[in-house]
Structure 1
Amino acid sequence: MITLDLSLPDTRYPIHIGRDLLDDANLILPHLPQRKVAIVTNTTVAPLYLARLQGALEAAGVAVLPIVLPDGEAYKTWDTLNLIFDALLSSRAERKTTLIALGGGVIGDMTGFAAACYQRGAPFIQVPTTLLAQVDSSVGGKTAINHPKGKNMIGAFYQPRAVIADMTLLDTLPQRELSAGLAEVIKYGLLGDADFLAWLEANMARLVARDHDALAHAVRRSCEMKADIVAQDEKESGVRALLNLGHTFGHAIEAGLGFGAWLHGEAVGAGMMLAAALSHELGWIDAAALARTERLIAAAGLPTRAPDLGVDAWLEHMSHDKKVESGRLRFVLLKALGQAAIVDDVAPEALQRVLAGPYIRRDTAY
């Protein structure tokens, strides 16, 4: 097992990465202010892993309240969030009852937001079951639900007490979900680590084949990079926005097609391709770098072409992005492979050429 520490001005917590961690209650017990927890999961994950985690905790003397939600991005809503509150209130859960998120990014985001709100703040722990959640959404304290007009627009910054990333949980992950997680891994190489990017190019086949050692390295490096950035800028007032590479386009895809039509990582994959294309359009990366980006995204099993939303719809959806400042769109673009920058002065003509260019497909199927 590898343990990383994320240290912030007001808190510090461990990120445990390894095999068969789900059965080790000792990774959770030190972070419980009382021996009562609520495990929030969904209808897909519960049959696979709920009994194991619940059994390990109950054997250690912890009372467990299971809360099983419907599965999918389409349920990342107020109504579903209220199911968590209903269960907590019905069981008379106290402020010191710890919420444990057992699931992917949707479960992690909603559980964290519920914890931030319940009695003005209950502790929570992340046990991510998808690659995307292990490398990105479980670390850093971003919690939220979606609104029909925009993804993650209603939420809070609220840090977990611990993150437990068990590589063996990825064995049951559908291949499409694994590829979606690899989008966030690729993001870290593109935005700030050229050596890691080269490692990904050399080892993508191992990652796609679920080699545990390769996955552990990818999770570790991704978490190291995210922890470093979050430590510098917890509330995303500056450098943390770099973590949104591909997300301005990606969130527009998700909203434009309807949340859940494409997985988040699929939308980010196509979004990173558009960000690279816009970087090339502006003369910052050359055609070879653009092609190299496309090969890596494709090797991960991700789409390299975005759906044709229409330029007006693209602009409308992007105008609701959280990075919009004073009415101006802000993009995370590539100055070079392994070096990203936040840009708010993109010429409209350059953006429109990209949105009408070869990285837009003429249908929405995937």
Structure 2
Amino acid sequence: MNQNSPTTLDVTLGARSYPVWIGRGLLADAARWRERLRGRHVLVISNTTVAPLYLDRVTRGLEGLKWASFLIEDGEAHKSFANVERALAALAELGATRDACVIALGGGVVGDLAGFSAACWMRGIDFIQMPTTLLSMVDSSVGGKTGVNLPAGKNLVGAFHQPRAVVADIDTLATLPDREYRAGLAEVIKGAAIGDEPFFAWLETHADALAARDDNAVVEAIARKLRYKAGVVARDETEQGERALLNLGHTFGHALETAGNYTMLLHGEGVAIGMLLAARLSERLEMSSAADTARLQRLLETVGLPVAIPPGMDAQQLLALMRLDKKNTAGTLRLILWRGIGKAEIVAGVGEDDVLATLQAAIAG
């Protein structure tokens, strides 16, 4: 693998499409991604952890353009309206016109905030995703979901705004802490659990290689997950139906993240625990078997992901937070559950008693 031969996917949305490049040396390969820039103004949004490592690789490719950088602190707590306002002020100071571009250099927090800021500036300008974490490479960088958090819950404010390109340079994974790398594997597993049982079996076989960050296994896992996601997004861009399946585990997981003030769990860790809770609820509702739940738990544990609700969390509080989920309709819970591995479905009107019992049983251990 080299920077001249990345794995390339196309996300097609009607008459629109954009490329996704996966490989080594891509941040420095400006000849590839600079063609996606239409104007002369560029704002690179990153964070204080990523910028010292990779910002120079990107800005060297912006020679001849008028560019600036805007940094936020690292962490979910900084995906806030205050930082959106600061990002928009940076665009104003740059003199950004309607053909300007925002580059998101970082993980999911940076990508969400940068994309939302780009969607807001002059009612929508271009942005390019340059994800630097496994989690953002396999999930948030593709599909156009952007957003910010409120104290009441995660991603309650946002917009659908598709990127012009996604540049997934796996060199950045070398500096990713083990915990954050494992959190990314949760989203890989989630895609297989939703609708691709053969991929799930592949993950079981290659779990050790993925845990060891083997290049070929990592690129294959990213590509397979994104091919699945791109197909779903193409069929349901604004989440009116099928795309909601991509939220398997998210209603539980977001409640866990919020209850922990966005500091106790990484997003992928919340998704891992949430997926398992969704599987246990499915089992309680006699939709799936204990064998499927056990198979999911075994894979999560094999790659080093948490499977238990953190100590000190309260089932009633978690249920209250779940009521705020964006998928809910008419005041009733609407969850993504499954009928076994690769067979997720949207289930409306889920009884709160069953959800509460599932949470209580998990907390009791």
Structure 2 counterpart SS, 1:93: coil
Cα contact 1:306–1:361 (8 A) shared by 2: no
Cα contact 2:21–2:166 (8 A) shared by 1: yes
Counterpart check, 1:46 vs 2:51: yes
Structure 2 counterpart SS, 1:360: helix
Instruction: List gaps (5 residues or longer) in structure 1.
Output: none
RMSD: 1.3
Supply the AA of the counterpart residue of 2:101: T
Separation in 2 of the partners of 1:145 and 1:278?
29
Q: 1:10 to 1:259 in 2, by over 3 A?
A: farther
Cα contact 2:41–2:66 (8 A) shared by 1: yes
Partner of 1:191: 194
1:78 to 81, 98, 101: 81
- For residue 161 of structure 1, report the CA deviation from its aligned partner: 0.3
Cα contact 1:126–1:164 (8 A) shared by 2: yes
TM value normalised by structure 1: 0.95
Partner of 1:25: 30
Aligned residue runs from structure 1 range 126-275, under 5 A: 126-275=129-278
- For residue 145 of structure 1, report the CA deviation from its aligned partner: 0.2
- For residue 280 of structure 1, report the CA deviation from its aligned partner: 1.1
Partner of 1:347: 351
Cα contact 1:233–1:239 (8 A) shared by 2: yes
Question: How many residues in Structure 1 have an aligned counterpart in Structure 2?
Answer: 359
Structure 1 counterpart SS, 2:350: coil
Q: Which moved more, 1:83-92 or 1:269-278?
A: 83-92
Instruction: List gaps (5 residues or longer) in structure 2.
Output: 1-5
Cα contact 1:40–1:101 (8 A) shared by 2: yes
- For residue 10 of structure 1, report the CA deviation from its aligned partner: 4.9
Separation in 2 of the partners of 1:119 and 1:300?
43
Separation in 2 of the partners of 1:10 and 1:254?
37
TM value normalised by structure 2: 0.96
Separation in 1 of the partners of 2:126 and 2:175?
28
Counterpart check, 1:87 vs 2:90: yes
Q: Deviations over 1:269-320 (max 9, x none)?
A: 1001100111111122222211111111111211111135323212210011
Cα contact 1:130–1:173 (8 A) shared by 2: yes
1:63 to 66, 73, 83: 66
Q: Deviations over 1:9-62 (max 9, x none)?
A: 25210111111111111222221111331111000000100011111332xx33
- For residue 189 of structure 1, report the CA deviation from its aligned partner: 0.8
Structure 1 counterpart SS, 2:155: strand
Q: Deviations over 1:91-148 (max 9, x none)?
A: 2122211100000000000000000001111110000000010000000000000011
- For residue 348 of structure 1, report the CA deviation from its aligned partner: 3.1
Separation in 2 of the partners of 1:269 and 1:244?
12
Percent identical across equivalent pairs?
49
Partner of 2:321: 317
Separation in 2 of the partners of 1:57 and 1:223?
28
Structure 1 counterpart SS, 2:349: coil
Separation in 1 of the partners of 2:28 and 2:200?
33
Cα contact 2:132–2:173 (8 A) shared by 1: yes
Partner of 2:360: 356
Separation in 2 of the partners of 1:361 and 1:179?
25
- For residue 266 of structure 1, report the CA deviation from its aligned partner: 0.5
Q: Which moved more, 1:62-71 or 1:141-150?
A: 62-71
Supply the AA of the counterpart residue of 1:130: T
Q: Which moved more, 1:81-90 or 1:116-125?
A: 81-90
